[in-house]
Structure 1
Amino acid sequence: MTTTVLDRIDIKILNELQQNAGLTNVELASRVHLSPSPCLARVRTLEKLGVIDRRIAILDPAVLGIGVTAFIQIKLEKQVQLSLENFTRSIDRLSHVMECYLMTGDSDYLLRVMVPDIDALEDLIVSKISRIPGVLSIRSNLALKRISHKTVLPIDSNQPVRIKPCHPNSGRAERPARSHYDAPQGKFDGGMGIDASRTPDHNAAGF
């Protein structure tokens, strides 16, 4: 394997780990038709290059009582660098925010949040998000039912994949090889709910 192109075996390794990151090295080697030693060497190289970012456990939100998923659109008063940085830091501290995207269009940010119930969503919006300095408006929409959800990236083992260099400020430059298995970190997904929207002010707390 080169440092710039992933071959068919590399991609097979990635696809197997995307389906089940709990495979032992012996199991993984058997599935990609390698002996354990070169298989482990490839995995460590993929980790070093940042192709494998981390290994996680995907938890079932319904079993854990996390039944509401909402998509929240945020508009800031000013889209200046300081406001963006302050908002990003504040959002990073909210554990119920599963994803956050800087957007084009009418809203500045799109959040995907997961909470146990509507009361928890109201508390998140009114007591936390709306209090972030610079937030001008908030509009939330609740998911009624998850129709499709994928965690597997579409990479074709029949075609070589060229690794794109990481941005120097992304924090994902080439790194030391890790041990074969990192401690898993939990992630949630899924949910149900209804529609809701609001614009924050100091006199109202409704959706």
Structure 2
Amino acid sequence: MTRQTADQLDRIDLNILRILQEDGRLSNVELSRRVNLSPTPCLERVRRLERDGYIQGYAARLDPERLGRSLMAFIEVRLDRTSPDVFKIFADAIAPMDEIQECHMVAGGFDYLIKVRVADMAAYRAFLGDKLSSIPGVAQTHTYMVMEEVKSTAAIPVPVR
């Protein structure tokens, strides 16, 4: 099966993606009005975009301060060796950690870049010492504390046709 790309979508599909990315709670009736379709064909397109994997899900953006997760940090993680078994051990160990919002394997001077959100410095220290540093294979970490969040978005640029 070949993976579909945005090149295979028409203007209406792209508009649906753009609009739903801005407001995933929009009713089908309102969405169909905005893309100039009747509700039934609009809903069929949305379901196809979901089925084909263009739309991976819907979520609410929450306020981290109100939920006691106001401290954000980025952590560089270097492993003691780069082998498939160490990568798997690391990935399996971090998967259940609620503090980690994102984890990316990267090329360069370290192996992973992790974004974490915790309550405060004490919670960060506990996370680093009790969880992250105790994973077998973790050789070194470098932390960058976020002082101000200038831009935060999950939006993907959608081509305009």
Matched AA of 2:82: Q
CA contact (8 A) 1:9 1:157 kept: no
RMSD over aligned CA atoms reads 1.0
Task: Supply the distance in 2 between the matched residues of 1:66 and 1:77 (Cα, whole angstroms).
Answer: 30
Task: Supply the distance in 2 between the matched residues of 1:10 and 1:126 (Cα, whole angstroms).
Answer: 47
CA contact (8 A) 1:16 1:28 kept: yes
For 1:46, the equivalent position in structure 2 comes to 49
Task: Supply the distance in 2 between the matched residues of 1:32 and 1:156 (Cα, whole angstroms).
Answer: 15
Residue 51 (structure 1) shift: 0.5
For 2:151, the equivalent position in structure 1 comes to 148
CA deviation digits over 1:5-45, x for unaligned, max 9?
A: 10000010001100000011111111111100000000000
For 2:82, the equivalent position in structure 1 comes to 79
Partner of residue 160 from structure 2, selected from 153, 157, 162:
157
- Please list every run of at least 4 consecutive aligned residues from structure 1 whose deviation after the TM superposition is greater than 4 angstroms: none
Secondary structure at the aligned position of 1:57 is classed as coil
CA deviation digits over 1:154-173, x for unaligned, max 9?
A: 11221xxxxxxxxxxxxxxx
Partner of residue 93 from structure 1, selected from 91, 96, 108:
96
Matched AA of 1:71: F
Partner of residue 116 from structure 1, selected from 115, 119, 134:
119
CA deviation digits over 1:113-161, x for unaligned, max 9?
A: 0001111100110000011001101111100000111221111221xxx
Normalised to the residue count of structure 1, the TM-score between the two structures is 0.73
Residue 92 (structure 1) shift: 0.6
Task: Supply the distance in 2 between the matched residues of 1:31 and 1:64 (Cα, whole angstroms).
Answer: 34
For 1:13, the equivalent position in structure 2 comes to 16
* Bigger relative contact order (CA 8 A; separation at least 6): 1
- 5+ residue gaps, structure 1: 159-207
Residue 65 (structure 1) shift: 2.3
- 5+ residue gaps, structure 2: none
Question: What is the count of residue pairs matched by the alignment?
Answer: 156
Which stretch shows the higher mean deviation, 60-69 or 141-150? 60-69
Matched AA of 1:69: M
Identical amino acids, percent of aligned pairs: 38
For 1:24, the equivalent position in structure 2 comes to 27
Normalised to the residue count of structure 2, the TM-score between the two structures is 0.94
For 1:166, the equivalent position in structure 2 comes to none
Matched AA of 2:97: L
Residue 59 (structure 1) shift: 0.5
